[in-house]
Structure 1
Amino acid sequence: MESARFSRHREDFSCLHCGATVRGTGYTNHCPRCLWSRHVDVTPGGRDADCGGAMEPVGALSEGDGFVVVQRCVTCGHTWRNRVAAADDRDAVLALFGRPVPDPAPLRSARSPGGTRHPRTSTRSAMW
C-alpha cells in the first residue's frame, strides 16, 4: 500500500541531461545512466513543484540499509535524496561518494545514525 504522502506515477521520459530514454516503473524519478532528474516534486511523486529545473547529482550517502543520491536543482537550489535503484549505473553512483554533500536540516535528519559515508571499496561490495 502506498502512503498518503507518495503518489505513484508510471511515466517514461527522456533524460534532459544525457538524452537517454528511461522506462518508468512508477518509482523511477531519475535517469539510471547519468543520475540527473527534473525538479517536479515537492512531496514524493506529487508532481507539485513549479520549478521544473534540472536536478544535478551532487553526492551520495549511506542511508539505513541502502544508499541515496543527493541532487540539487540548478535553477532554485532545492536538494533532494533519491534511493539508488538496481538499474542505476554503478560507476556513476560510486563517483559521487566522497564529494561534499549539501547539509540542510532535512538531509541531516534523514541520514542513518552517524550519517557515515562509506569509502568506495566497501560501497561497491555493499551495493551490488
Structure 2
Amino acid sequence: MNRDAQNQSFVCNHCGKHVYALTNGSYRNHCPYCLYSMHVDILPGDRMQTCRGLMRPVGVIFHSKKGLQLLHECVKCGDKKANVVAQNTVQEDNYELILQLMKHHNL
C-alpha cells in the first residue's frame, strides 16, 4: 500500500471526531483529540491485522531518531505499539493529554 493510500482522513472509533490526513509528510494512525488508534497493522502501514481492536494510549516514550512517541495498547488483544506524535500538521496531537500521559509515566 502506498503512502497516499495510508494517509487518509477517518472518523475516530473512540470519540467520533473527524480526523484529517496529515500534511507533514507522514501518515495518520491515531486520533489527535483522544489519542486512540485502531489495531490495523502487523507491519507499519500494511493494514493486515485482523484484530481491529481499539488501541488505548498508555504512555509516552522518547526515541532518539523519531522523537516523542505515543505508546498504545490494544484493549482487545493486549499488543503494544509506539506511534510518532503528530506535530507541524493541520491537526496536531492533543498536548494536554500527552502531558498527562508523561506525568503518569514519569518521562
Tell me what 2:15 maps to: 18
What do residues 12-45 of structure 1 show as CA deviations (whole Å, max 9, x unaligned)? 1111111110012361000001100110001001
Q: Indicate the percent of aligned positions where both proteins have the same amino acid.
A: 39
**Correspondence for 2:95 among 90, 94, 97:** 90
1:78 and 1:7 map into 2 onto residues whose CA distance is 25
TM-score, normalised to structure 1, is: 0.70
Runs in 1 of length 4+ with deviation above 2 angstroms? none
How many equivalent pairs are there? 97
Tell me what 1:69 maps to: 70
Larger Rg: 1
27-36 vs 62-71, which moves further: 62-71
Q: Please report the RMSD computed on the Cα atoms of aligned residues, expressed in angstroms.
A: 1.7
Structure 1 gaps of 5+ residues are: 1-5, 101-116, 119-128
1:41 and 1:21 map into 2 onto residues whose CA distance is 21
- Kindly report which structure 2 residues correspond to 1:1-128, keeping only aligned pairs within 5 A, or say none: 7-8=2-3, 9-25=6-22, 27-64=27-64, 66-86=67-87, 87-100=92-105, 118=107
Larger relative contact order, structure 1 or 2 (CA cutoff 8 Å, min sep 6): 2
